[in-house]
């Protein structure tokens, strides 16, 4: 009886309309002075308007994706696109098990798989600058306000260290209606590998992590922005086939594709 009830629960998670009817919120364009400046400059970056998923992709959502795209299941995916860590803690190829909640942010997903998921929603992974603009733009009103926000983010991250990500949407959204930015999971971005290339490196086999430690870390404009540094460190250690229990994702659409709330 318990097994039957569990199967019905996950059948609901897969079949529920919410699994495919994602909420994308408009993010206005503007100018960003990135906190991560690899060339040491503070050149303003023009950000075009876009629409972003209001919340990270959930286990609920990802099961629906796997049901429609079985080639991305753990037992069928090519090693070209994912390592052995891909959905490794799930009980089966289509079910994470009863200890997981369908509304938890999905993790243990490779960069390739995240891109494929976003494409299934006629979307794509955000660029680093899009993600940074959406996450930090709401808090750049003054230096003290930004420092307070960074402190709250850091406290939240430290409190959940060693624990699985919780349900999405429990924290209030920012001014763009985006929830769980920075505080639930680290998130894949489309151009993450390009961010950690050391232009002066002569060793083409040098790892992303070594490049970060060897010089790129000095490019942080605000050295007290610990949440940002932690996110950069997490991504810099990853290969596109890697998967981690701390890294999830959300998607973005071009303005003409994104629905408004």
Which domains are present in the chain? 2-254 (3.90.1580)
pLDDT averaged over every residue in the chain: 76
Under a CB-based contact definition with an 8 Å cutoff, are residues 102 and 65 in contact?
A: no
Q: Average pLDDT, stretch 50-65?
A: 97
Q: Average pLDDT, stretch 105-130?
A: 96
Order across the sheet with 252-254: list the strands.
24-27, 50-53, 252-254
| pTM for this prediction | 0.76
Q: Which residue has the higher pLDDT, 206 or 81?
A: 81
Under a CB-based contact definition with an 8 Å cutoff, are residues 63 and 109 in contact?
A: no
CA neighbours closer than 13 Å in the CB half-sphere of residue 103: 8
- C-alpha–C-alpha distance, residues 114 and 104, integer Å: 16
- Comparing CA positions, the residue from 212, 203, 202, 217 lying closest to residue 237 is 212
pLDDT at 232: 76
Contacts of 81 (CB under 8 A, 6+ apart): 72, 110, 112, 113, 116, 241
């Amino acid at each position: 009886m318990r097994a039957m009830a569990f199967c019905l629960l996950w059948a609901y998670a897969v079949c529920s309309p919410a699994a495919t009817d994602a909420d994308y919120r408009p993010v206005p364009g503007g100018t960003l002075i990135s906190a991560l400046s690899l060339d040491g400059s503070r050149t303003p970056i023009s950000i075009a308007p876009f629409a972003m998923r209001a919340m990270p992709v959930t286990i609920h959502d990802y099961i629906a994706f796997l049901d429609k795209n079985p080639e991305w299941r753990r037992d069928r995916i090519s090693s070209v696109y994912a390592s052995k860590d891909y959905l490794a803690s799930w009980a089966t190829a289509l079910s994470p098990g009863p200890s997981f909640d369908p509304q938890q942010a999905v993790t243990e997903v490779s960069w390739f798989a995240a891109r494929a998921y976003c494409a299934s929603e006629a979307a794509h992974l955000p660029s680093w600058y899009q993600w940074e603009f959406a996450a930090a733009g709401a808090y750049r009103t003054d230096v003290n306000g930004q420092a307070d926000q960074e402190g709250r983010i850091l406290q939240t991250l430290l409190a959940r260290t060693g624990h699985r990500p919780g349900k999405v949407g429990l924290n209030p959204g920012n001014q763009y209606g985006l929830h769980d930015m920075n505080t639930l999971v680290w998130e894949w971005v489309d151009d993450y590998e390009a961010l950690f290339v050391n232009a002066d490196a002569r060793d083409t086999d040098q790892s992303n992590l070594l490049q970060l430690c060897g010089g790129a870390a000095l490019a942080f404009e605000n050295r007290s922005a610990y949440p940002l540094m932690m996110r950069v460190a997490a991504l810099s250690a990853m290969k596109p086939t890697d998967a981690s229990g701390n890294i999830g994702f959300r998607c973005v659409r071009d303005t003409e594709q994104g629905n408004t709330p």
